[in-house]
Homo-oligomer: A and B are copies of this chain.
Amino acid sequence: MIAGIVARNAELAAMGGVRVLVPPGDDMALVELAGRRVLCAADQVIEHRHWDAGTPLELVARKALARNVSDIAAMAGVPSCALATAAFAADAREADAEAIAEGFRRAGREFRCPVVGGDVGMHAAAGAPLVISVSVLAEPGPSGRVVTRAGAHPGDLLCVTGRLGNAWGAAGTGRHLSFVPRTAEALELVRILGDRLHAMIDISDGLAVDARHLAQSSGCSVEVDAAALPCAQGAAWQSALGAGEDYELAFACEGMPPAEACGTPVTVVGRFIDRQPPWVTAIVDGTRLDAGNLGWEHGLPERAP
């Protein structure tokens, strides 16, 4: 695993430029731009990593944008716009670029997050992997509240939206190509829960890893009840806990959450506890397992969960 390339928090203040309110390490950075708070983040998808051969490039472009919009949801932001670059193989066809452009157009409309700028480049070599990088800008929602990963307290409930697991699907054709980022649900949760919503993240690397991010950022540990996991069709609890690419929300809530948000089910799946190793414990048939290293960070889920 290669380390990050972003400046450490402590260094940023000395670098000039923008004032950074939420530094690198959360789903998005929150900066003060022209006197206003703006959320920004960047993410990429890489051929042979984030999609299988034969996946229509419209759907690849959609996924590239949707992953970023999912980060906006995690902060309870409202999408503004996106920027995109694509590095094509030297032998790429014009139709490939058109498919990606069309995917961005459709997804930009669907998510109200148009791609307003970018760049197309070519690898020197034929057959080199296509890399699509997307940045997104967003505004805080109507309440002004931006929800970070930090803020969970011992006693808070760990809750998730939707259903988890098996997102890659058979031959890579699963939900990871069609999920709808939970931006509306996030704003609804902020509205309903107010200050009882303590911390939030989107589940890209698997609930186990992303719950660990919540716990670590908050200085807590977390216990997950495997029997409570809302498993997607065809998914066992191991997949729901570890397989990633779900792009649902996981959040820390003081007291009970609503049963649903914008029609999407909300499920209590665990509880934050005082900090003690391990960060994430899965309770399976009464047995306690260290689950903090299930799942993937910035990589590809196993093709079969």
Contacts and interface: CB of A to CB of B under 8 A. Distances in A.
Interface of A: 2-7, 11-12, 14-18, 20, 23-24, 28-29, 31, 33-38, 40-44, 46, 48-49, 61, 79-81, 83-88, 92, 94, 96-98, 100-101, 104-105, 108-109, 111-125, 128-129, 131, 133, 135, 137, 139, 298-300
A137 to B, nearest CB: 6
A288 to B, nearest CB: 32
User: Chain A contact residues: over half helix, strand or loop, or mixed?
Assistant: mixed
Number of copies: 2
Nearest to A102: B5
B114 A16 contact: yes
B41 A5 contact: no
Contacts of A4: 97, 101, 118, 120
* 8 tightest A-B CB contacts, nearest first: A16-B112, A133-B133, A34-B36, A42-B83, A135-B135, A48-B124, A15-B114, A18-B81
A16 to B, nearest CB: 3
Contacts of A88: 2
Given A46-B121, A120-B298, 16 more contacts: A2-B94, A4-B101, A5-B86, A5-B101, A6-B116, A15-B105, A17-B112, A18-B116, A24-B117, A31-B80, A40-B83, A42-B135, A44-B85, A48-B123, A87-B133, A131-B131
